[in-house]
Amino acid sequence: MIIVLKKDVNQADLQFLVEKLESYGFKTHIYENEGKTVIGLVGDESVLRDKPLSSFPGVEKVVPVFKPFKLVSSEFKKEESVLNIKGIKIGGRHSVVMAGPCSVENRDMLFDVASRVYASGARILRGGAFKPRTSPYAFQGLGEEGLKYLRQAADQFGMLVITELMDPRDIELVGKYADIIQIGARNMQNFRLLKEVGKSGIPCMLKRGLCATIKEFLMAAEYIASEGNYNVILCERGIRSFDSETRNLLDLSAVPVIKGMCHLPVVVDPSHGTGRRDCILPMAQAAIAAGADGLMIEVHPKPSEAMSDGDQSITPDEFDILMKRVKIIAATVEKHIEE
Amino acid sequence: MIIVLKKDVNQADLQFLVEKLESYGFKTHIYENEGKTVIGLVGDESVLRDKPLSSFPGVEKVVPVFKPFKLVSSEFKKEESVLNIKGIKIGGRHSVVMAGPCSVENRDMLFDVASRVYASGARILRGGAFKPRTSPYAFQGLGEEGLKYLRQAADQFGMLVITELMDPRDIELVGKYADIIQIGARNMQNFRLLKEVGKSGIPCMLKRGLCATIKEFLMAAEYIASEGNYNVILCERGIRSFDSETRNLLDLSAVPVIKGMCHLPVVVDPSHGTGRRDCILPMAQAAIAAGADGLMIEVHPKPSEAMSDGDQSITPDEFDILMKRVKIIAATVEKHIEE
Amino acid sequence: MIIVLKKDVNQADLQFLVEKLESYGFKTHIYENEGKTVIGLVGDESVLRDKPLSSFPGVEKVVPVFKPFKLVSSEFKKEESVLNIKGIKIGGRHSVVMAGPCSVENRDMLFDVASRVYASGARILRGGAFKPRTSPYAFQGLGEEGLKYLRQAADQFGMLVITELMDPRDIELVGKYADIIQIGARNMQNFRLLKEVGKSGIPCMLKRGLCATIKEFLMAAEYIASEGNYNVILCERGIRSFDSETRNLLDLSAVPVIKGMCHLPVVVDPSHGTGRRDCILPMAQAAIAAGADGLMIEVHPKPSEAMSDGDQSITPDEFDILMKRVKIIAATVEKHIEE
Amino acid sequence: MIIVLKKDVNQADLQFLVEKLESYGFKTHIYENEGKTVIGLVGDESVLRDKPLSSFPGVEKVVPVFKPFKLVSSEFKKEESVLNIKGIKIGGRHSVVMAGPCSVENRDMLFDVASRVYASGARILRGGAFKPRTSPYAFQGLGEEGLKYLRQAADQFGMLVITELMDPRDIELVGKYADIIQIGARNMQNFRLLKEVGKSGIPCMLKRGLCATIKEFLMAAEYIASEGNYNVILCERGIRSFDSETRNLLDLSAVPVIKGMCHLPVVVDPSHGTGRRDCILPMAQAAIAAGADGLMIEVHPKPSEAMSDGDQSITPDEFDILMKRVKIIAATVEKHIEE
């Protein structure tokens, strides 16, 4: 931590602050420049995180030297993590595509989509059984029935299942059917849920909150890792901006930025990230070109009949074209789409 | 719903769309202007909320005529709701001040703060027993012990207790001690939590999410109301902006804007809303001048010793000045601070 | 400047950096904590503003100790500036209300509005003669004819004139008629315009850009001051947010925040700041309660006939009520509305 | 235009509104659904743009049917425009790379960079002679001397020159040396500058403002086109977000979104768009994968010595790798980098 004091701070305030810092166990390192005093601290910075230093008299700003997360940081582990989830690798040179309908609507439709996206190269089947809906009056998902269909369809084609967990009380139920638990954007700071998933040890994918900074996103991943679960995939899925042309604003620079700070794999969801069918193909291409470790794509046989998110789903045929394109682009940037 | 078609839409697309709309049970009302066709719909608009109309061929945009929320809207109930929670009125001409420490740290400190804020005119005691913390390594609250202290302190001075619920599994526990359940900003779209609070019937205060639009905020309130609980207070507590001078950006125009759309009372939290001690007094004054139905203020006897949020807490003496000021301002705008 | 290096930086990178810094004339002050090296610099920080230090090998972040602006800062001048523009005081305990139509539409209407707002207590007459319009097809203002009407109306009632300058080529023309030159939000970083206004020495009001941080806002004021013109009023007029319920988001906490960093007066424009007639009264009240040194209000005798901004103008009668309210609130916060 | 009225609007307000609309020359088309009246208008919508319809009594919202821009829209011209600027094609299948230093610092450095970027495939030379700097104390550019060097270097290698115009008074001077005039992000709504460039007929590149919506961006382009200049290139260069990990947030979905609304070519500037050297390569790749018609890249022989923007410049060697990559990606998405 570095503390910058206000210009011409009075000596009593400086002394009070220094004594306080020493009482917390820090050595201080003080210098002055043109009337401004700077205090550098030697000691365990995390001790200070709860201390209201910036409201001490005379303090102008407080600058952390260390990142607020540890276990997920590149400082903790230099090389990129390559997760191996039941034989599917994610991270490093390995990119994986997850695809499927927004909601599991019924058994037939799910098997239909699964067979098509598998054929094009997807290896993880997505589908919502519990849906977080903005309106209490909207379709809320099939529940356990949906989970069963997901498991059966995935097993039939040799895929993994990823599905969302919304409530800590459902973790056993969801864990029984899913290979990867998804934590949705709205729950990125549902800390009780993060802890449960951490304790469960089940691989998970954490979606970035709609207005989460990258540091907050990595802090949420740290919650999971701090319970001993390192099988965490990060997912950029669009953040909130001032322009409503797209539902969300897909932040693709998050891919290289996170990779510079964190060893976990980063995938991109252009379906939620844009909310527009016509943006999914170009943004999927762009995500892979930016170095993403995978994609999550909503695919529906008839988007105009979808019970949710039809506006941002593509057809299996469109998905097939997308896969052909991203395989070439992946090779250009020295990655490989896992099949 | 009104559907605007792309310029010079082809007849097949138009016909397909109209048939689809009729199959959903709507009458259509079509007119054209300079090559653009507009379809007005007569029927129950909520049926269409899940339909991906904007991805139908030929559709340019879809404009709802009705608001997505009902029970909390001014259209449903014209006059402002005045809640009466164990004798304390909130809404209409009645403003209430909630005050107390960020976290309940220990019994003595809580009783000290409670006696002081009561004397200045606060009638609802706030304090966190379960704390949602960005870092897994930060102080997480005293749990049930904290709840007990809150109840005891409030009872001693004749105040109500408001405290946060983070996990649906804790609702019975928290409900045993609290008069008003707080749903924090990070949980504004934790729909399972909203439903539990709705079913419980316990009065609650819902904080606006960091990047929630006002419509999304009211949709979250609708979740609670749709379970039969109308005792909902809305709380503006700052949204995310691009400027980091303040921790959050307090959106005071939310007060008149919400009052034009919704009958529920709206209070303002300038402590979280700015994250800066030096902004709390001016923003509390401004909130009341803007017509808020109350304030929530973090008060700590020694902010520099606080275990959380010390940077945004004021002292009991500063709180006393604040109360004197806001009582006069309330009168100027034809409101009354409840005591 | 403080430079934080990456963990376990190599010695060659450290040495290269230190030599570079010394070659710029700095003394360095180095310490280490848990594998991270921090370099504090002693010397004139402004020298480094153009240096790409953060892209030097091994550098993690660069933290300025000094603010990037000088002449307008509270460090340069501690007490609040009280401008005296032809007898009207702004700043300190003096608040002033500026009012008038968005555009000068014709002579009669302007005189009508001027007489009404003067009677209610406004002392500065606003009105646009050159209008920055988003659409090239919209009404662009009356030009010099509008300026003449403004001058005549102001002179008749003993008011000052404030009007917008859009183009450096018009400065002589506008300066001939105006007492205060307004620089609009879209031109906040039109640096050539800022310099011209700085050189002219004419008092000016600088509006905050739609997405300007407070630091950038003050840097723009510094441009004017650096040419020798200290008669600068700052105007908060709403920033861009993700919610479209209001046209802009009025940032009232900017008032106390700026007052903590800068000695210039700060006024608030709730008309542009919200874009909604129903928000002008509550937000004007709130602005004064937050400590603003004045208001700018759009007043039109018949808002529904206005040639621009009718959606955010109030009538003279509504303005009269507003003035009565803000005079009381000003007194509560120890300010005085100049009349 | 479609006007949605408040629920249960009274008949007098409805009648007043309808008469007003008819007096403006519109036919009205009225229908009702569940107590809400909707008025569709037939006539020239642009007439209404200045009318404050949303503040008429009884009006809830006003929805335009037409886009506010015309000449630049896809409705006006369906096929993508392919500009031909002195033999260099931009748009459609033709992508072009613009490269060079942020500022022209001296003759030798500029020729050095020009020869290197030309060899790698850049065909347009960028460089600032007039620099818009946030600080009045920062390097402001070499002025005409810089323009001369640009012209000479470009001529030597057979490149075009693009450089920024900041002041309408400089248009003749800049037009004498430049093939393409750049309008910077801060001047996107400097309407006088837009008009001058429009009248000049010189090809130009308009950068998106830091907080401009895509509609506002296209309106600014319309300003130029409305003066008869259709040689307009649009440039996405990052918008403002709440996260400071990158200097700006590069909005790559703007590429497909704009292409759905507008026929002009769209290029991407990942240097300003991210402000980070480590993000330039991945984001340049992503931009081309998203379908951009070109790139603008800051290249400096020694970024750590650059007089401006060194933090976001890459070396000629890094640029060479970038060019090799984007040529392959362009081919994958059916585009061609012009050489």
Least confident of B252-261, C210-219, D67-76, D196-205: D67-76
pLDDT of the residue at A137: 84
Strands B232-236 and B204-207, sheet pairing: parallel
- Whether B87 and chain D come into contact, CB under 8 Å, resolves to no
**Of C29, C63, C97, at which residue does a domain stop?**
C63
Contact assignment for C222 to D136 by CB distance below 8 Å: yes
- Whether D332 and chain A come into contact, CB under 8 Å, resolves to yes
Helical (H) or strand (E) element with B115: helix B107-120
ipTM of the complex: 0.95
Question: Which residue type does A323 have?
Answer: M
Residue D48's pLDDT band, with cuts at 50, 70 and 90, is confident
Provide the sign of the torsion angle of the four alpha carbons B222, B225, B227, B231, taken in this order: positive
Between residues B325 and C131, the one the model is more confident about:
B325
Q: How many contiguous H segments (helices) and E segments (strands) does chain C have?
A: 10, 15
Q: Collect all residues of chain B within an 8 Å Cβ-Cβ radius of residue C241.
A: 239, 241, 249, 251
pLDDT of the residue at B116: 98
- Whether A7 and chain C come into contact, CB under 8 Å, resolves to yes
Q: Collect all residues of chain D within an 8 Å Cβ-Cβ radius of residue A242.
A: 211, 213, 239
- Looking up residue A8, the CATH number of its domain turns out to be 3.30.70.1140
- Whether C309 and chain D come into contact, CB under 8 Å, resolves to yes
pLDDT of the residue at C131: 86
Q: Which of B33, B41, B63 sits opposite D33 (nearest CB)?
A: B41
- Whether B213 and chain C come into contact, CB under 8 Å, resolves to yes
Contact assignment for B40 to D44 by CB distance below 8 Å: no
Q: Which of A257, A279, A288 sits opposite D253 (nearest CB)?
A: A279
Tell whether the model's pLDDT for residue A109 goes beyond 90: yes
Q: Which one-letter DSSP state was computed for residue D91? A: B
Contact assignment for A190 to B187 by CB distance below 8 Å: yes
pLDDT tens digits, A247-266: 999 999 999 999 999 999 99
Least confident of A274-278, B317-321, C274-278, D307-311: D307-311
Six token digits for residue A199: 């304790």
Nearest Cα to Cα of residue D181 among C265, B310, D155, D196: D196
Looking at the structure, tell me whether residues D218 and D118 fall in a common domain.
Answer: yes
Looking at the structure, tell me whether residues D54 and D95 fall in a common domain.
Answer: no
Taking the C-alpha atoms of residue C202 and residue C178, their distance in angstroms, rounded to an integer, is 9
**Of B63, B93, B111, at which residue does a domain stop?**
B63
Q: Collect all residues of chain B within an 8 Å Cβ-Cβ radius of residue D244.
A: 244
Q: Are B285 and C290 in contact (CB under 8 A)?
A: yes
- Chain B nearest CA to C169, separation (Å): 33
| Residue ranges, chain B, pLDDT below 50 | none
Residue A178's pLDDT band, with cuts at 50, 70 and 90, is very high
pLDDT of the residue at D158: 96
- Whether D245 and chain B come into contact, CB under 8 Å, resolves to no
pLDDT of the residue at A89: 97
pLDDT of the residue at D50: 78
Tell whether the model's pLDDT for residue A38 goes beyond 90: yes
Q: A148 exposed, middle or buried (CB, 10 Å; 0-12, 13-18, 19+)?
A: middle
Q: Which one-letter DSSP state was computed for residue A240? A: -
pLDDT tens digits, A46-102: 888 778 888 888 999 999 999 889 999 998 999 999 999 999 999 999 999 999 999
Q: What is the mean pLDDT of residues D139-157?
A: 95
- For residue C176, count other CB atoms closer than 10 A to its CB: 11
Q: Are D312 and D272 in contact (CB under 8 A)?
A: yes
Q: Are A180 and A205 in contact (CB under 8 A)?
A: yes
Q: Which of C241, C289, C325 sits opposite B286 (nearest CB)?
A: C289
Q: D188 exposed, middle or buried (CB, 10 Å; 0-12, 13-18, 19+)?
A: buried
Decide: helix, strand or coil at residue D141: coil
pLDDT tens digits, B73-132: 998 999 999 999 999 999 999 999 999 999 999 999 999 999 999 999 999 999 999 988
Taking the C-alpha atoms of residue C111 and residue C117, their distance in angstroms, rounded to an integer, is 10
- Whether D76 and chain B come into contact, CB under 8 Å, resolves to no
On whether residue A310 sits in a domain, the answer given is: yes
Q: Testing the interface with C: which of D17, D55, D183, D197 to mutate, by most C Cβ within 10 A?
A: D55
Q: Which one-letter DSSP state was computed for residue A337? A: E
Size of interface B-D (CB pairs under 8 A): 57
Contact assignment for B132 to A240 by CB distance below 8 Å: no
On whether residue B73 sits in a domain, the answer given is: no
Q: What is the mean pLDDT of residues C111-125?
A: 98
pLDDT tens digits, D166-198: 999 999 999 999 999 999 999 999 999 999 999
pLDDT tens digits, A283-323: 999 999 999 999 999 999 988 888 888 888 999 999 999 99
Looking at the structure, tell me whether residues A48 and A87 fall in a common domain.
Answer: no
pLDDT of the residue at D56: 86
Residue D310's pLDDT band, with cuts at 50, 70 and 90, is confident
Q: A61 exposed, middle or buried (CB, 10 Å; 0-12, 13-18, 19+)?
A: middle
Biggest CA-to-CA distance, chain A: 76
Least confident of A69-78, C21-30, C43-52: C43-52
Looking at the structure, tell me whether residues A104 and A170 fall in a common domain.
Answer: yes
Contact assignment for B310 to A55 by CB distance below 8 Å: yes
pLDDT tens digits, D230-255: 999 999 999 999 999 999 999 999 99
Least confident of A196-200, D17-21, D152-156, D254-258: D17-21
Show Cβ contacts of residue C106 under 8 Å, excluding neighbours closer than 6 positions.
C149
On whether residue A69 sits in a domain, the answer given is: no
Contact assignment for D243 to A214 by CB distance below 8 Å: yes
Looking at the structure, tell me whether residues C204 and C317 fall in a common domain.
Answer: yes
- Whether D52 and chain C come into contact, CB under 8 Å, resolves to yes
Contact assignment for D29 to B31 by CB distance below 8 Å: yes
Looking at the structure, tell me whether residues C133 and C269 fall in a common domain.
Answer: yes
pLDDT of the residue at A132: 86
Show Cβ contacts of residue C317 under 8 Å, excluding neighbours closer than 6 positions.
none
Looking at the structure, tell me whether residues A316 and A234 fall in a common domain.
Answer: yes
- Looking up residue A126, the CATH number of its domain turns out to be 3.20.20.70
- Whether B285 and chain C come into contact, CB under 8 Å, resolves to yes
Looking at the structure, tell me whether residues C154 and C17 fall in a common domain.
Answer: no
- Whether D257 and chain A come into contact, CB under 8 Å, resolves to yes
pLDDT tens digits, C257-297: 999 999 999 999 999 999 999 999 999 999 999 999 999 99
Taking the C-alpha atoms of residue D183 and residue D232, their distance in angstroms, rounded to an integer, is 10
Contact assignment for C222 to D135 by CB distance below 8 Å: yes
Between residues D112 and B140, the one the model is more confident about:
D112
pLDDT of the residue at C13: 92
Residue C88's pLDDT band, with cuts at 50, 70 and 90, is very high
Distance from first CA to last CA of chain B, Å, rounded? 46
Neighbouring chains of D at 3+ CB pairs under 8 Å are A, B, C
For chain C, give the percent of residues with pLDDT over 70. 100
Q: At what angle do helices A107-120 and A144-157 cross, to 10 degrees?
A: 40
- Whether B60 and chain A come into contact, CB under 8 Å, resolves to no
Six token digits for residue A321: 């074209």
**What are residue B83's DSSP bridge partners?**
B90
- Whether D245 and chain A come into contact, CB under 8 Å, resolves to yes
Looking at the structure, tell me whether residues B165 and B300 fall in a common domain.
Answer: yes
- Angstrom CA distances, D85 to D79, D81, D140, D181, stand at 18, 12, 29, 12
Instruction: Give chain D's domain count.
Output: 2
Residue of A nearest to D212 (CA): A243
Looking at the structure, tell me whether residues B53 and B106 fall in a common domain.
Answer: no
Question: Which residue type does B83 have?
Answer: L
- Which structural domain, as residue segments, surrounds residue A35? 2-63
- Whether A215 and chain C come into contact, CB under 8 Å, resolves to no
**Of B10, B30, B63, at which residue does a domain stop?**
B63
On whether residue A17 sits in a domain, the answer given is: yes
On whether residue A73 sits in a domain, the answer given is: no
pLDDT tens digits, A130-174: 988 888 888 889 999 999 999 999 999 999 999 999 999 999 999
- Whether B304 and chain D come into contact, CB under 8 Å, resolves to no
Residue C51's pLDDT band, with cuts at 50, 70 and 90, is confident
Looking at the structure, tell me whether residues C117 and C48 fall in a common domain.
Answer: no
Contact assignment for C138 to D50 by CB distance below 8 Å: yes
- For residue B35, count other CB atoms closer than 10 A to its CB: 12
pLDDT tens digits, D271-297: 999 999 999 999 999 999 999 999 999
Q: Are D278 and D246 in contact (CB under 8 A)?
A: no
Looking at the structure, tell me whether residues D50 and D161 fall in a common domain.
Answer: no
Q: At what angle do helices C277-289 and C316-332 cross, to 10 degrees?
A: 20
- Whether D55 and chain B come into contact, CB under 8 Å, resolves to no
- For residue D71, count other CB atoms closer than 10 A to its CB: 19
Q: What is the mean pLDDT of residues D58-74?
A: 92
Contact assignment for C279 to B289 by CB distance below 8 Å: no
pLDDT of the residue at A307: 80
Show Cβ contacts of residue C35 under 8 Å, excluding neighbours closer than 6 positions.
C7, C8
- Angstrom CA distances, D142 to C289, D131, D139, stand at 48, 9, 9
Tell whether the model's pLDDT for residue D49 goes beyond 90: no
Q: Which of B134, B187, B303 sits opposite A219 (nearest CB)?
A: B134
Contact assignment for B189 to A186 by CB distance below 8 Å: yes
